[in-house]
Structure 1
Amino acid sequence: MTAQTRTPSTVDADGNWVRPRPGVAGMHTDGLLALGIAVGASLAILLYASAEFFDEPPVPWMAALVVLGISGPLVWRRVAPITVTIVISIVYVCAIYNQVPEVLFSNIALFMAMYSIGAWSSSRRHALIARIVVVVGMFGWLFWELTRATFDTSLAPEGSGIGLIAPGVALGLISVITNVLYFAGAWAFGERAWTAARERAELEARTHELEAERELTAAQAVELDRVRIARELHDVVAHHVSVMGIQAGAARRVLGPDAPSGAVTALGSVESSAREAVDELHRLVTTLRGIGGEGDASDGPSTRGTAQLAALVDDVLAAGRTASYSIIGERQALSPIVDTTLYRVGQEAITNSLKHAGASATMDVRLRFSTEQVELEVADSGHGTRAAQKAGRSGGLGQIGMRERLAAVGGSLEAGPRRRGGYLVRATVPLLVGERAADSGEEASS
């Protein structure tokens, strides 16, 4: 399993992020926006006509075309923002020259179109060029109208002075200031919307990457734990097989020349097989250590066992927690692999309890021996938060590792909340799997 890096989306020729196309919901929203602009513009035309904004009332079909031209293109403002802006700009200018009395909702539509270029254009270079062209064109037209109005005295009432600023110039300046604010706001808000969308996309991509890394880390943790189990099995099995080979060689030499040839041959075969098995185990564990990335064998897993459980509890006490350790029943000799497995399970359970049970929780560690099995219990009073216990101890990688360790020696694991509060981990290993079988074999050979 490998982690795959996810990018927010594709990039354009300049390496800029390309915003994904809007979905069906976005198109529906733009449709409602266009409908609202159309209704508002129609009402505004009626009000302006009633107020005699122009000398002549607007031609109905011309007014209908203007309403359609400024509102209809907004449905595609996210898909083709540059085209929509150009169309609305042309309709806006034509409406002014054809004396269609609508400037309020036309300006709103033009603002939304300019905003969409910055927020939704697929190319930042094209977005920049298009906005510059639209702004230069619109302000060129405004300055032309301002220059023409400078010499138009018809706007002033008859017999009145021109004053400091001619009426036409004053109206032109108001239009220029208004459009500066409109276009600057549309430009700035569009850029900010595009930047915010890119940041959200990058955040989502990072979230996907973290999820992939977390899955990879989980898989690696399980694999590493399996490697440790394999190393422990190697340490124990290689020891016993080596002893078998040594004893077989010693027996073969002790028999002497009068021994049956079949016995000597059998002992030689056992000795040779033991040597080959040890070599195979060494090669296997070398490969596993290479896969796990842990070449240092200094932490040999078979160096610790249940005798060190008391030291773990002492560490808990040294950390300021309340803990106790007891051995119930007559202690019996455990095979190295069972001894190490119980120690590792106890170590994991104690660590989880320290993490999730809470600072005021008490811990009780018990090692119980019977004639049939050995049990290790790690229980706590669990004063920590339920969320922490659920997140940290229910079905986590630690429990997976403990179950696999115990399964390797024929044992089982019980883990979960206690009825009276707290958490309990109980590891059970039947003694018949290793110790009692070994004892029976020794008695039979004797």
Structure 2
Amino acid sequence: MISGALRALWDEPRATPPAGTAWWDQALVAALVPLTAVEALLRDDVTRPVWDATWALVCVAALLWRPHRPLLMLVVGFTAQTVAGVVPALAGEPYSVLDVTAVVLLLAYSLGRWASGRGVVAGSGFLLVVHLAREPLYDASGSSMVVGAGALMLPVALGALVRLWARSQVRTREMIRAREREQLARDLHDTVAHHVSGILLHARAAKVRARTDPRAAVDAMGDVEDAAVRTLEDMRAMVALLRHDQQTGDGRQPTYGIADIPQLAQDGGVGPRVVVETSGDLGRLPATAESALFRAAQEAVTNARRHATDPTLVSVDLRRDGHTARLRVHDDGRPVTPGRGRRAAASYGLAGMRERFSLLGGDVSAGPDPEGGWTVEATVPLTAPAGEVGP
């Protein structure tokens, strides 16, 4: 287990840094430069103000490139702080350097936050080796050396934790994005299937009428044209949503809702008659539930027109019972042989419908009705199930 964790750390890629230099790093450097100069001039124990200020400013300047070159900037900053104190110590002079410890700790945090796994290992090793090598020159005790090593490793670990948290947030957004795109793809499929089914029925009617009444055939072709225009409009709208950058947080809502269900009864003229009835308080429903109910009704009506045997009526009944919305779509087509025909042809649409409702904590059932015909029933709770993340 430990070897696997170390191998995973070693292979860890670099985190994507922000573009350019962050304004807060620029502001921090702009504030630290004059403070460093003032400290070098005013501290009584600083005997080499130019020397100490020069190395301290090198350390401060490393902040400007810390997200993009975390390992290099850590080496530059920690080396500058070390040289400022070690060279005078080797010459027998007392230890007195400007306080840039906070800057070094911030560079160590940047190592864990942005560097690759190899960079984190190399940078941590560099910190520990240099720290343990220089502290005896300052007459540091063993306990203080251990505390100092821990203080240097703590921001590295903190940066790594922030890195893992940021990655989990990205993964969560990607999951939400993938789920929303999947839902939009289903919407696109359902919309196109519904309209193409209508176009096919109109085209067949035009073909039959053309033999006896050319004028009626022209009217039927007009219906085909209207259906094709609606199909193109819906396809363009859906494709535009699929292409839209979902990181903009535009807060869009599903394309269709309960208010659009009566439109299913307005594609008459060809095929069975569609009757839509609603009851209960259907206002202010969750947008996801509205979209799912519309798509279920649309899929069921489309399947009835495509696959039912000699249907004359498709009834769509939508009602609200407390915190549950119930949809029932029934056609009066003749029975078919079990396991063939209607059930097999509609299986893909029903599978997508069941998956859509399962995401909302609902349920879908479909099959031959004991009284004749085919019935599709769907229920969806009007409160989100625990743990659900909305689109």
TM-score (norm 1): 0.44
TM-score (norm 2): 0.49
